[in-house]
Each structure stands twice: as structure tokens, then as C-alpha cells.
């Protein structure tokens, strides 16, 4: 527990100033987090982190995350989507020449991971570009829901939410975590409006995002179960890897974008 607390304090001491500053420092941080996150998938898949598929995956994640303006030097046809598509084609071509060491299943997992991680951190930067309080709103959904689910789950939890994937999570904790996050964020939104819709609709959005955040957590738990690992990585002592800490955000932030909030 001591290690977990120390890691959290140090991480927040670095992370909070970055989201306050925004701009280039936060962009570089998001790019670095994306590369670490995809490397965690590579390790779970037992693919060397310095192999050709790994390098292609790093490039694809960077393309997905980086601001559109950073790609302006490329020909018009090579936008974010087409460039990522070409890189994925390279992964598929690699299965032809190295099918004993890298097969279609490997390429498929990496493609999903590239989209999942890339879109998540890109939307994270888009939220910050919309404003500090917009990004903080998205992060608070994740933090408050997770904390509420843990606290209320320990107190009142009796019915397992997804025992085969995450045996400690309960329906009681999940529901009360969402309720707690929604109440607190309704007050937050009153003082710091987000988006261009009324407070009532934003409360509904908060409920949806709180639920999706928990689904994101379960998706990452299912991923780890598939590969028989406890944590996605070891970069954060006591907390696991980057995917362990940002799993909920990787669904919440893109949904904010898809709903037109950012």
C-alpha cells in the first residue's frame, strides 16, 4: 500500500502540472504514454519490443495521437487515417514473410491496440485543447467512478459484476460509483460548464461516460486475463502499467468526442 500511495503522489505531481500547462509538454507526454501502452500489448503478445512489427506499431500509435498539424508536411492523400492504414498493411505483409513468428492474429491484435490506444490519447489531447476544465471533467468521471465503486463496493458489495473477468467488482459498487460521480460532477458542471448543451443533458452524458469508463476497465481486465497476466506492465510500482491506469480514459475521452462535447 505504501508503494502504491508513493507512486500515486509522484505521478499526480507530474501529471497535474502537465494538464495545467497543456500544449507541447502534454502532447509529448501523451505520445510517450501511447508508445508505452502499445509496448505493454507487445509484451503480453510476446512480440519483441524492438522487432519490425513493434516499430511499425509505435509509428502507427504516434500518427494516431499526434496533432493533425504535425502531419501537414505529408501529401494531402496521406492524412492520419491513410497513413495509419499503410502502416497496418505493413503489419499484414509481415505475416506473409514471417508467419511462423508473426501471424494474422498478432497483426489483428496490434491493429485493435493501435486504434484503441491511439484514439484514446488523441481524444485526451482534443479535450485539453477544448479547455482545462473539459479535460478535468473527463478525468474526474474516471477517478470519481473508480473511487466510488471501490469504497461502496467494499461496504455494500454482494453481487459480482463480472466474476470471470474482475472478481472483486460488484453491481452495488458499480451503480453507487456512478451515482456518486454523477452527483459530484453535476455540481462541478454548474460552476464549470462543459460542451454546448444544458446541464440536464450533461448529467445524462456523465452517467453514460461513467458506465463506459467501467466497461473500459473491464475490457482491460479481460485483455490481461486472455494473456494470463496480473498487470499490463510494471512502469508504475503498485499500480501496474499505463493500460492499467488509463483503461477507462481510453473509452471516456473518445466518447466525449463522438458525442460532440469536445
- Grouping H, G, I as helix, E, B as strand and the rest as coil, residue 229 is coil
Bridge partners for 170 per DSSP: 160
What pLDDT does 54 receive? 97
Q: Is the pTM of this model over 0.85?
A: yes
Q: Return left, alpha or beta for 166; rule: phi > 0 is left, psi -120 to 50 is alpha, else beta.
A: beta
Supply the angle between the helices 132-156 and 249-258 in degrees, to the nearest 10.
130
Nearest by Cα to 166 from 218, 114, 123: 218
Are 114 and 61 spatial neighbours (Cβ–Cβ below 8 Å)? yes
Tens of pLDDT, residue by residue over 11-40, are: 778 888 888 998 999 999 999 999 999 999
Alpha carbons 98 and 144: distance in angstroms, whole number: 46
Alpha carbons 239 and 193: distance in angstroms, whole number: 32
Task: Tell me how far CA of residue 221 lies from CA of 122, 147, 199, 216, 241, in angstroms.
Answer: 22, 17, 33, 9, 12
pLDDT mean for each 10 residues of the chain (262 residues): 68 84 94 96 93 97 94 87 95 87 92 96 96 94 93 88 86 94 96 87 95 93 87 74 91 93 83
What pLDDT does 111 receive? 96
Amino acid at each position: 500500500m505504501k508503494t502504491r500511495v508513493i507512486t500515486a503522489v509522484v505521478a499526480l505531481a507530474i501529471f497535474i502540472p502537465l494538464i495545467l500547462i497543456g500544449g507541447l509538454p502534454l502532447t509529448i507526454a501523451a505520445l510517450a504514454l501511447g508508445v508505452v501502452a502499445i509496448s505493454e500489448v507487445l509484451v503480453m503478445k510476446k512480440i519483441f519490443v524492438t522487432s519490425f512489427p513493434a516499430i511499425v506499431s509505435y509509428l502507427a500509435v504516434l500518427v494516431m495521437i499526434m496533432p493533425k498539424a504535425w502531419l501537414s508536411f505529408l501529401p494531402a492523400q496521406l492524412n492520419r487515417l491513410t497513413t495509419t492504414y499503410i502502416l497496418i498493411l505493413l503489419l499484414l505483409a509481415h505475416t506473409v514473410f514471417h508467419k511462423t513468428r508473426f501471424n494474422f492474429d498478432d497483426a489483428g491484435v496490434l491493429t485493435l491496440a493501435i486504434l484503441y490506444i491511439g484514439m484514446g490519447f488523441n481524444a485526451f489531447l482534443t479535450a485539453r485543447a477544448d479547455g482545462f476544465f473539459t479535460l478535468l471533467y473527463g478525468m474526474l468521471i474516471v477517478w470519481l467512478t473508480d473511487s466510488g465503486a471501490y469504497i461502496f463496493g467494499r461496504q455494500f458489495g454482494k453481487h459480482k459484476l463480472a466474476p470471470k473477468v474482475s472478481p472483486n467488482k460488484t453491481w452495488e459498487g458499480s451503480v453507487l460509483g456512478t451515482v456518486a460521480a454523477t452527483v459530484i460532477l453535476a455540481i462541478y458542471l454548474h460552476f464549470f460548464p462543459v460542451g454546448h448543451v444544458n446541464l440536464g443533458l450533461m448529467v445524462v452524458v456523465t452517467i453514460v461516460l461513467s458506465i463506459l469508463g467501467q466497461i473500459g476497465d473491464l475490457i482491460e481486465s479481460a485483455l490481461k486475463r486472455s494473456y494470463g497476466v496480473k498487470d499490463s506492465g510494471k512502469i508504475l510500482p503498485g499500480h501496474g502499467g499505463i493500460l492499467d491506469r488509463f483503461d477507462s480514459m481510453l473509452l471516456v475521452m473518445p466518447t466525449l468526442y463522438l458525442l460532440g462535447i469536445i
